[in-house]
Structure 1
Amino acid sequence: MKKLLATLLKIAVSAAIIGYLVYDATQGKGNANVFANLVNQPKHWGILVLAWWSCAVAVLLTFIRWWYLVRALDIPCPFFDAIRIGFWGYLFNLAPLGIVGGDLVKAVMLDHEHPNNRAKALASVLVDRVIGLYVLFVVASAAILLTGLWRIDVAEIKNICWATFAITVGGGFGLAFVMGPEAWVGRAIRTVGRIPRAGPPLESLIRAVRMFNRRPRVLVLASLMTVGVHGFFAVGCYLIACGLPGNHLSFAQHFVVMPLSAAMQVIPVPIGPTEFALDYFYANVPAAAGPPIAKGQGLVVSLVYRLITVLIAALGVFYYFGNRRELVEVIHEAEQDK
């Protein structure tokens, strides 16, 4: 019953966010209605296809990064097996609410195919997620500095920029501390583990990261791959904006707004937070050139981006039909672990 109520709550939150954004976007007058513009004005389909390819390359890079981390932990996972498992994980991350998460599916699937590696499998997906999230803020911070966005005369955007800097610097110091010698950090980790409810998961996460403390080269190369991941996603989002009618933010600005919007994915609601963030940035960051950006333009861009990610994830369906029985077993096992 609790699981059902939690699922219904997540559905309600997602529906409320998207419903509010759509309502707000339709309050424009005449041609300011972005949905009317989307239907009535021409689209650049070739550019939208390029956007799909850019996002697809970004997704593929995440699979390669995870495979690299898996191999660094001495799990003999072949490259194409990692791609197959990666597609399953990506598909389940976008699946309807209530289904087990993609990261857990990846870890269980990896352990299923390479037994007696459960701890390493979990470490690989946890560290993969940590690297992806931290480098996201690094990319956004660099783009903020290069574009000078932190100097614009919008108080809320300035605050977001400074918060991004703080998270980047604080996260860097935190990771450096966690990767220190056991004599330095062991007691602190055990203290964290005693925090009610949140402590044990945090301790597990820190222990997972520390599996790589003697493999700094692996972490550096995985981080460089992650810069490419966020770069291709930012390019994909910019191409989506170029392919749709209406003015949009600049190429460089998308390297700020796309990573920061993607950071909202940490909220356990599959749809809504990222769309809300991108729409907020489009409404509050001044366009570098051209007329003012129409109300709701960010929502339209984010919804097309969401559609593209679903089309990419649909490739995982082919793996499902080829390995249906195995996947059902993995889902059942993941549900028990959850």
Structure 2
Amino acid sequence: MREPSVSSTIPGHPYRAFAIRVGLGVAVVGALLWYYNPRPILRTLSRESPAWFAAAGGLYLAGQIMSAYRWQLLAEILGLSGPFKEFLAYYFVGVFTNLFVPGLVGGDAARAVYLGRRHGRMSEAFASAIADRGLGLIALFWLAAIAAIFLNFAHLPRSVTVPSAIVGLLALAGFVAGPYLALLVPLLPARLRGIAVAVPYLEHPTLLLPAIGLSLVLQISLAICQYMLARGLGLSAPLTLFLLCVPIANVVASLPLTLNGLGLRESAYLVLLGMGGVARDDAIALGLLWFAVTMLVGLTGAIAFVTTPTPTLFASPQESVTTMRRQ
């Protein structure tokens, strides 16, 4: 059966999609700035300490490197092994692609195509990328639920904390039920049985625990990053507030509607951090600063995008090893 090519796996019209995402994000931010006086927000942004901003960017970059290692762990479960620098390069190709393709699927497809071509095992490569994204979301849901149940020192309303707790519990139930869900795969229609390549993830959930641990560390680091940005603005909000609000806001910002959650995150911060006592100007400024951090780190993926050669399609495992040795 013919393996999918790059053009068939990465969504088309990237520039149109990029323009739509930017336009929608700018429209939301513009509406916020129009409704609220933009001058205090701009003054707030000018207060940001370059040192704290750089520290937040460095921690976020380290988290992306750790995410590449998490993907390597998941790929090895399916028999896709290789040097870490290979997974790191492909991961950052995906990070850069995500800036221009709607949602997170485009970047995942790009890195999966690179890995699949390298090893001649496209199905396993796509399964590993999807599992990597899925475990990241599971950890996000779990952390949001834990924060809503145990860290609600800001006294967010039940309309926020209860849904967060429910989604986290459902994610936990789905994870535990993995071995039972694996039994249903042979019963699927023939055209859907291709997902059987991912059955090892369902059958042996304990193998996923190291990757989930890294995902939880990553989500906590994202909250710490934004706490650093707040410190750079001179805010005295406690770290626990960010551990509570950031995971919930990230769930909202992960919707594939705007560029890197632009506008969505600011709106979520305005509501959530506002409930925790953060002024609205500070909340919007924090969202814009975090958007700047993610964009700058995402643009570093251009280095991998330019310098990483596209692996030869249908390379056999032996050919892949030979190619890697030559490089």
Range into which the TM-score falls when normalised by the shorter chain: 0.7 to 0.9
Aligned residues: 303
Contact 1:91/1:102 (CA < 8 Å) preserved in 2?
yes
Instruction: Please name the residue that 2:282 is paired with.
Output: 297
Question: 1:271/1:208 Cα in 2 relative to 1: closer, same or farther (>3 Å)?
Answer: farther
Contact 1:58/1:232 (CA < 8 Å) preserved in 2?
yes
Shift of residue 96, structure 1, vs aligned partner: 5.6
Shift of residue 238, structure 1, vs aligned partner: 1.1
Q: Matches of 1:212 and 1:150 in 2, distance apart?
A: 37
1:214-236 Cα deviation digits (max 9, x unpaired)? 43332111100101110111111
1:21 has 2:29 as partner = yes
Instruction: Please name the residue that 2:41 is paired with.
Output: 34
Instruction: Please name the residue that 1:76 is paired with.
Output: 81
Shift of residue 101, structure 1, vs aligned partner: 0.9
Instruction: Please name the residue that 1:276 is paired with.
Output: 264
1:143-198 Cα deviation digits (max 9, x unpaired)? 2223225844x4xxx21211111111112222322322754x347x62xx69xxxx
Instruction: Please name the residue that 2:124 is paired with.
Output: 120
Q: Matches of 2:226 and 2:103 in 1, distance apart?
A: 28
* SS of aligned partner of 1:180: helix
Contact 1:276/1:299 (CA < 8 Å) preserved in 2?
no
Shift of residue 129, structure 1, vs aligned partner: 0.8
1:315 has 2:323 as partner = no
Counterpart amino acid of 1:258? V
Instruction: Please name the residue that 1:259 is paired with.
Output: 247
Instruction: Please name the residue that 2:316 is paired with.
Output: none
Q: Matches of 2:197 and 2:143 in 1, distance apart?
A: 24
Q: Matches of 1:267 and 1:121 in 2, distance apart?
A: 24
1:178 has 2:178 as partner = yes
Question: Which sits farther off after the overlay, 119-128 or 15-24?
Answer: 15-24
Shift of residue 124, structure 1, vs aligned partner: 0.3
5 Å-filtered alignment, 1:64-213, equals 64-95=69-100, 101-115=106-120, 117-148=121-152, 151-152=155-156, 154=157, 158-180=158-180, 182-183=182-183, 185-186=184-185, 190=188, 207=196, 209-213=198-202
1:58-104 Cα deviation digits (max 9, x unpaired)? 11111110011111211122111111111111111123659981100
Question: 1:87/1:240 Cα in 2 relative to 1: closer, same or farther (>3 Å)?
Answer: same
1:262-303 Cα deviation digits (max 9, x unpaired)? 223542234274642443333344565xxx533243232122
* SS of aligned partner of 1:211: helix
1:224 has 2:224 as partner = no
1:236 has 2:236 as partner = no
Question: 1:171/1:18 Cα in 2 relative to 1: closer, same or farther (>3 Å)?
Answer: same
Counterpart amino acid of 1:323? T
Counterpart amino acid of 1:298? A
Q: Matches of 2:295 and 2:25 in 1, distance apart?
A: 19
Contact 1:69/1:222 (CA < 8 Å) preserved in 2?
yes
1:13-39 Cα deviation digits (max 9, x unpaired)? 6524433333423544597x2113323
Q: Matches of 1:273 and 1:221 in 2, distance apart?
A: 28
Question: Which sits farther off after the overlay, 169-178 or 71-80?
Answer: 169-178
Q: Matches of 1:91 and 1:30 in 2, distance apart?
A: 30
Contact 1:7/1:97 (CA < 8 Å) preserved in 2?
no
Q: Matches of 1:181 and 1:24 in 2, distance apart?
A: 44
Instruction: Please name the residue that 1:334 is paired with.
Output: none
Contact 1:144/1:256 (CA < 8 Å) preserved in 2?
yes
Shift of residue 53, structure 1, vs aligned partner: 1.5
Contact 2:77/2:200 (CA < 8 Å) preserved in 1?
no
Question: 1:296/1:23 Cα in 2 relative to 1: closer, same or farther (>3 Å)?
Answer: farther
Instruction: Please name the residue that 1:51 is paired with.
Output: 56
Q: Name the TM-score, length of structure 1 as normaliser.
A: 0.77
Contact 1:127/1:208 (CA < 8 Å) preserved in 2?
no
Q: Matches of 1:23 and 1:182 in 2, distance apart?
A: 46
